[in-house]
């Protein structure tokens, strides 16, 4: 069988490409497209043989696309228009322009691609851009399934709830019964290895967007715990940490990171943000969504790791408000709180060990790129499901 020809749009650092490889599909990326020069350097470093077009997607012509003669599109359109912190301009946002261009040229291609996988943030499902996408799919004769999935569905201790859509030309059957509802778990298919229909740990009722990682103070009725954390939040975290289906974070940590001290939270951040940090230990089975500001901004950008696992958090936080800054720091420092390293985040996102960054890419840039990327295992599984026919 000839290899499937794949077009990777908004390729970033190539999370989709890694997912495609992991799925084991007989496929090759015939073009990857992205405007970000730093992301492109990382992409080229890891996939030197994949043709990379460093340009804007709205600049790609129908002729260029036709000449690529692709069978599948993998794409993660920029998410800002759909996030709560973004402008919420939806299709009027200039950043949505390239996606509208894709929707406009797709029906005019000489050969309609058989398969489409799209990833986006939660919130996309109720956007106008999504409605345009669905309209185009119907017009072109696709059937499709929408999902809201987090890596926790696969036992990975990281929340990253994302919207996914699988679409297939109607001549190609899906291996599962599609539904108009948004699925919150992987569908069961005939292949037993793909079966995993356990309900996700976190439902959509528990929002997991970039902002929700912030613990909010509880009212007097819920009681404020040693941190600004409500008892419900604490209980949810404890339930996650006791879930035997979930891997522990230690499986994803680097064994010997040279100079781990560069990842310690600076005193200023400790003092300022102590009460809103989401602290996890290596034995925990959860972490919040890592976003592009991780390692730089503290609020709601992702969990931090307690390096001194034997110190009780409650003792480090006890009566903090009565202490001087110096005393506070002395107490908080006993926890040795540090950021997850970029490699550790890549591990949680399912990037293979051979995936790397060129040396000149700074730590801040790595966090940024990883924060925009996706979970490779989730994508790999979705691609397998997409390609299965019965």
Which residues contribute to the site for ligand SAH (CB under 6 A)?
10, 12-16, 33-36, 39, 56-58, 76, 78, 98, 372-374
Q: Least Å distance between CB 292 and ligand SAH?
A: 9
**Residue 50 DSSP one-character state:** S
Residue 147 neighbours by CB distance under 10 Å: 21
Q: Which of 18, 79, 284, 289 is catalytic?
A: 79
User: CB-wise, 288 or 373, nearer to ligand SAH?
Assistant: 373
User: CB-wise, 56 or 170, nearer to ligand SAH?
Assistant: 56
CB 234 within 8 A of CB 223: no
Q: Least Å distance between CB 36 and ligand SAH?
A: 3
Q: Which two structure tokens, joined as six digits, stand for 234?
A: 């604490």
284: annotated active-site residue: no
User: CB-wise, 335 or 374, nearer to ligand SAH?
Assistant: 374
CB 117 within 8 A of CB 74: yes
Q: Where are the beta strands (DSSP E) in 282-346?
A: 304-306, 337-339
CA distance 304 to 288: 9
b/e per residue, 96-128, with b = 16+ CB within 10 A?
bebbbebbebbeeeeeebbbbbbbbbbbbbebe
Residues near 20 by beta carbon (within 8 Å), at least 6 away in sequence: 6, 8, 27, 29, 74, 379, 380, 383
User: CB-wise, 101 or 338, nearer to ligand SAH?
Assistant: 101
User: CB-wise, 148 or 277, nearer to ligand SAH?
Assistant: 148
Q: Least Å distance between CB 198 and ligand SAH?
A: 26
User: CB-wise, 35 or 225, nearer to ligand SAH?
Assistant: 35
Q: Which helix (H) or strand (E) is 18 found in, with range?
A: helix 15-23
Q: Least Å distance between CB 182 and ligand SAH?
A: 20
Q: Which two structure tokens, joined as six digits, stand for 101?
A: 């261009």
User: CB-wise, 77 or 157, nearer to ligand SAH?
Assistant: 77
Q: Least Å distance between CB 225 and ligand SAH?
A: 36
Nearest to 367 by CA among 277, 290, 269, 275: 290
Give the strand pairing for 162-169 and 115-121: antiparallel
Q: Least Å distance between CB 291 and ligand SAH?
A: 12
Q: Least Å distance between CB 110 and ligand SAH?
A: 23
CA distance 363 to 358: 11
**Nearest residue to the partner ligand SAH, using Cβ:** 12
Q: Report the SS3 class of residue 386.
A: helix
CB 320 within 8 A of CB 330: no
Q: Facing residues of 32 across strands? A: 8, 52
For residue 249, give Cα distances in angstroms to 6, 305, 306.
33, 9, 11
Residue that is written with structure tokens 């290596």 in the block: 282
Q: List residues with catalytic annotation.
A: 79
């Amino acid at each position: 069988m000839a290899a499937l020809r794949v077009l990777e749009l908004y390729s970033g650092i190539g999370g989709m490409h890694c997912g495609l490889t992991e799925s084991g599909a007989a496929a090759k990326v015939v073009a990857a497209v992205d405007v970000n020069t730093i992301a492109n350097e990382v992409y080229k470093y890891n996939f030197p043989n994949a043709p990379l077009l460093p340009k804007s997607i709205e600049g790609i012509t129908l002729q260029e696309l036709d000449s690529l003669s692709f069978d599948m599109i993998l794409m993660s359109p920029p998410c800002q228009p759909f996030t709560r912190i973004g402008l919420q301009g939806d299709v009027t946002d200039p950043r949505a322009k390239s996606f509208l261009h894709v929707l406009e040229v797709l029906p005019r291609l000489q050969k309609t691609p058989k398969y489409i996988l799209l990833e986006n943030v939660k919130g996309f499902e109720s956007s106008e851009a999504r409605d345009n996408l669905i309209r185009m799919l119907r017009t072109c004769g696709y059937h499709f399934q929408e999902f809201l999935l987090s890596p926790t569905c696969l036992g990975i201790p990281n929340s990253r709830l994302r919207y996914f859509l699988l679409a297939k030309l109607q001549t190609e059957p899906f291996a599962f019964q599609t539904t108009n509802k948004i699925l919150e778990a992987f569908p069961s298919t005939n292949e037993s290895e793909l079966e995993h229909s356990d309900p996700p740990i976190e439902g959509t009722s528990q929002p997991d967007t970039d902002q929700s990682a912030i613990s909010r103070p509880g009212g007097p009725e819920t009681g404020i715990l040693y941190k600004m954390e409500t008892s419900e939040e604490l209980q949810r975290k404890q339930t996650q940490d006791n879930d035997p289906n979930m891997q522990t974070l230690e499986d994803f940590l680097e064994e010997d990171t040279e100079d781990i001290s560069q990842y310690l939270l600076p005193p200023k951040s400790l003092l300022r943000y102590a009460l809103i940090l989401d602290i996890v230990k290596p034995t925990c089975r959860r972490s919040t969504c890592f976003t592009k500001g991780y390692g730089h901004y503290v609020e709601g950008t992702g969990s931090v790791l307690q390096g001194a696992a034997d110190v009780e958090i409650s003792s480090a936080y006890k009566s903090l408000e009565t202490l001087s800054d110096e005393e506070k720091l002395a107490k908080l420092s006993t926890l040795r709180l540090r950021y997850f390293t970029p490699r550790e985040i890549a591990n949680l996102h399912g990037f293979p060990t051979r995936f790397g960054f060129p040396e000149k890419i700074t730590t801040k840039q790595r966090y940024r790129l990883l924060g925009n990327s996706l979970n490779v295992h989730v994508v790999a599984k979705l691609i397998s499901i997409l390609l299965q026919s019965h």
